[in-house]
Amino acid sequence: MSSIVSYGSYIPRFRIRTEDIAKEWGENPENIKSGLFIHSKSVPGPDEDVLTISAEAAKNALRRTDLDKSKIGAIYVGSESHPYAVKPTSSILVEALGLSYDIHSADYEFACKAGTAAMQNVMAMVDSGQIENGMAIGADTSQGAPGDALEYSASAGGTAILIGKNGFADFNATLSFTTDTPDFWRREGEKYPSHGGRFTGEPAYFKHVLTGAKKMMERMGTKPEDYDYAIFHQPNGKFPTRAAKMLGFKDEQVKDGLLTPYIGNTYSSSMIIGLSAVLDKAESGDRILGVAFGSGAGSDVFDMTVNDRVKSLKRERAKGVMEQVNNPIWIDYATYVKYRGKIIMRGA
């Protein structure tokens, strides 16, 4: 059975408050905060992208384990903001992390669930005996068009999950649910994504998240109260809170994995950065349900149980998620548009 051997996240330090975005567009920030339940979001520095964020997340994962790096047989990076259209992020990471050149590597794309798609492939390779360990990364520097609702949520961050045998959190099962649903997309060559407004709710997010979670609980014969933690894809703070309530989960099962109110939607890292925050505190015997959603649309669901090996996990060797969340550098809207390339600069 495959399991989580180590994990690590990285959140850029720059943050912008909802108030600072709202005032530029004549919106009432209180309406945005109560409507989307987002108070601030992370912003990548001008020298950060999916490669640098993935590298820092992966380095945090490697710091927490004494695993010989040469025993990592695959590295996959899921993102919708890879630095190159053609030239894999994952191959640069092989060199940046000092991994063996005898390694499977690829970049994945499935909106916000590309990172969990990568996890499932690594799990399959470990379970089949093709590799001993593999790393799956979900990272993004997501874009929202100026003035669009997405500008309040589209943020940056990354999480790396190192999967192998004899880890500290066992995967009891995983499943996916996929349909052709055009709720959110970005055409080739376009800078900003488009979305279907309210269509992103019921037929997209809720249908796939609720169906995936229900199918998993049906397969495993579990109920919401059997889980100590539940993490849902979090495009804003409102959707996952409502989905949890509709499924019968209580606030205390969900709160530790809900980060969007503070750092925004990290897209391909969205659910797994919540998982990373939960793994920062989970104890032996804790059962975790993780439901990722990707527009287009599909959900990836994971049922996990933390085992006794968590006691020897070297968590303190890397910064935890909340430690990073609570270490912001606040910027204003002018700095934000400069850093995100929303103003045209000569030679930049």
In the window 79-108, what residues touch another protein (CB under 8 A)? 83-84, 87, 92, 95-98
Query: Among residues 1 and 343, whose Cβ is nearest to another protein?
Result: 343
Residue 189 contacts another protein per CB under 8 A:
no
Site string for another protein, 255-284 (x = CB under 8 A): ------------------------------
Work out whether strand 72-78 and strand 104-108 pair parallel, antiparallel, or are unpaired. Answer: parallel
Determine the distance from the C-alpha atom of residue 329 to the mean position of all C-alpha atoms in its chain, rounded to a whole number: 21
Going by C-alpha positions, the residue among 239, 184, 176 that lies closest to residue 206 is 239
Q: Which secondary structure element, helix H or strand E, spans residue 77, and what is its range?
A: strand 72-78
Site string for another protein, 301-340 (x = CB under 8 A): --------------------------x-x--------xx-
323 is catalytic: no
In the window 190-229, what residues touch another protein (CB under 8 A)? none
- Phi and psi for 170 in degrees, rounded to 5? -85, 140
Stretch that binds another protein, among 46-54, 105-113, 144-152, 234-242 (CB under 8 A): 46-54
Query: Among residues 11 and 38, whose Cβ is nearest to another protein?
Result: 11
Query: Among residues 18 and 54, whose Cβ is nearest to another protein?
Result: 54
Q: Which secondary structure element, helix H or strand E, spans residue 212, and what is its range?
A: helix 207-220
109 is catalytic: no
Instruction: Please give the Cα distance from 7 to 320 (Å, whole number).
Output: 10
Query: Among residues 86 and 221, whose Cβ is nearest to another protein?
Result: 86
Query: Among residues 47 and 188, whose Cβ is nearest to another protein?
Result: 47
Residue 347 contacts another protein per CB under 8 A:
yes
In the window 6-35, what residues touch another protein (CB under 8 A)? 13-14
DSSP 10-73: E--SEEEEHHHHHGGGT--HHHHHHHH---EEEE--TT--HHHHHHHHHHHHHHT----GGGEE
Active-site option among 80, 132, 151, 208: 80
Report the nearest approach of another protein to the CB of residue 122 (Å): 22
Q: Among 16, 42, 56, 217, which residue sits at the site for another protein (rule: CB under 8 A)?
A: 56
* CA-CA-CA-CA dihedral for 28, 30, 36, 40, to nearest 10: 100
Query: Among residues 192 and 206, whose Cβ is nearest to another protein?
Result: 192
Q: Among 52, 120, 253, 269, which residue sits at the site for another protein (rule: CB under 8 A)?
A: 52
Report the nearest approach of another protein to the CB of residue 148 (Å): 23
DSSP 166-189: S-SEEEEEEEEEEEEE-SEE--TT
Single-letter amino acid, residue 242: R
252 is catalytic: no
Cβ-proximal residues to 36 (8 Å cutoff; 6+ apart), any chain: 149, 152, 153, 236, 237, 238
Active-site option among 39, 56, 82, 112: 112
Determine the distance from the C-alpha atom of residue 269 to the mean position of all C-alpha atoms in its chain, rounded to a whole number: 1
Report the nearest approach of another protein to the CB of residue 14 (Å): 8
Work out whether strand 169-181 and strand 296-306 pair parallel, antiparallel, or are unpaired. Answer: antiparallel
Q: Hey, what are 248's tokens?
A: 């019968």
Residue 45 contacts another protein per CB under 8 A:
yes
Q: Among 3, 5, 49, 90, which residue sits at the site for another protein (rule: CB under 8 A)?
A: 49
DSSP 187-208: -TT-SS-EE-GGGGIIIIIIHH
Q: Hey, what are 34's tokens?
A: 């109560």
330 bridge partner residues: 15
Q: Among 47, 180, 188, 316, which residue sits at the site for another protein (rule: CB under 8 A)?
A: 47
Report the nearest approach of another protein to the CB of residue 133 (Å): 20
Interface residues toward another protein, by CB under 8 A: 13-14, 45-49, 51-52, 55-56, 83-84, 87, 92, 95-98, 327, 329, 338-339, 345-348
Would you please indicate which residues are annotated as catalytic (active-site) residues?
Answer: 80, 112, 233
